[in-house]
Structure 1
């Protein structure tokens, strides 16, 4: 990227921000509604989750929905406690039993549930809830209830465990999912369905292998910083995507080499309608002004906004480092926001308090 082009991209971002009075942007951290956290993956699969701990046992209850128009919501339960081969997983809503699922049958039905591409399950033992009407009934009950209690069957000589999951905020979180996937008012909405037909949500296509890259894209990728020297199994786990663009073009967000302890580097490659491919560089700020770079760390693509986020962690905790957000403008990625924290002190990460290095801050009066 030439210095002139880089300057033009920075100027365009500044003009865009000025015209909107610092345009509204998604937060630096995932939204939360009274304990229910919402987010979307690089492909456009979205979820609402609640993590609840009771002493040494925790459960993560997650409502997951893929981007396809016909995709139905799925419910997944994950726990850190080993479950026996026999026994029953029970659910109660405000003290009333709503479902009892034999563990053996639950395990047998798991292969029948198609896991959305790009969904990364938590560590521990996880189960998909029975799909279809059973999931619909559970979600309807959760939207109107106060507390869902999950009764985990106990291993031999151990006591059963009951984990109460508060439901305040679950309805708001599901409405966020509907809105984020453009489902509100359609026949596929969870909270407020309407008569409009369902359409595909904003999305990108998961890349599970470097073999899915077109030859021109693979050539650009292989020529850059030894990008192609990455184990195929590691590539599969790093959420690479192809972003469909106008006029049959595509933007590829691809891992570049093996991850380090805290960070995974990526590159962006643009493939035009004629098949030609080129690497897309991005702007970052330095003490003397904008600079161009080709690496994006821990890349997160936001399909609904056509934005790309980089989060370079200065430690394993992630309380220090560098955070960037760019938006696709049709030809390149324009820097919208950058923030940094240089103090690595082991505190819980709070990116909302990081110092902004872009856009320029107004001087105090």
Structure 2
């Protein structure tokens, strides 16, 4: 490609990289998630059969690829059976990768070596499945893998380059958009004065009895009310309003710390539309507030097991709550807990002076 064409192409790719929206999609038996930094992770579903392959990659030249195959997880515990290394089948034939650059454990195979990953993907990309010799029901379906990795290449601007995993071309490995910069969280200039006992008592009473039944279906005697200082003049009031099997829906209010109590309903607005939705408002579920760090956490379980759902972290900057982190696992297949759900939004704290 002529130099002048590259000089036009790279700024375009940089803009596309910065403006890329977070996503989570399913292609047949594979799920891919990419966050606001264009970091992407793809894995096969369903993990309930105990065998899962995961591929992840960062945007930009410093892509730090990772491929892993795991048998068993935090839900299943250690599963019995022979080592993966010698007991994998690819379409009913022995799969014997070169494990020279892999970390090999009985039930976990991991590599971050780019050439090893390329060689392995070349072996499996057009196959149907990987399975265990001694437990055929433990299968990694490969249907959808190519589509998921093609989307990953597209999001990261690798299509047509030597670093692409699917549609590889002649563009240099250096000819890819850089990783976008994470948004910097603005913090409150100073910590709020702790609430006095009188302030706490008055605000809890206000949240228990003054919130309208039209807003809160729970009987006042069953409501859980918590208060915390936001600023020296305002407090955060969280009131549990609807109870489900494993989720508690909360209402949040910014309330004056002195009588007469004046309150304002708080809403949380996301900087992007979550997967499968057109709106950006987040329902406040199972909320907890860390007053020491001025951070609000929400955690919505997709089911009681806690293997799927949405987890968020919001930073109060002295005026409003701004999204700091958003993780979502849309597939309920008993593979991992909320601490490992793929992220769709991440941020960074301001650098220390």
TM over 0.5: no
User: Normalized against structure 1, the TM-score is what?
Assistant: 0.42
User: Which structure: greater strand fraction?
Assistant: 1
TM (norm. structure 2) is: 0.43
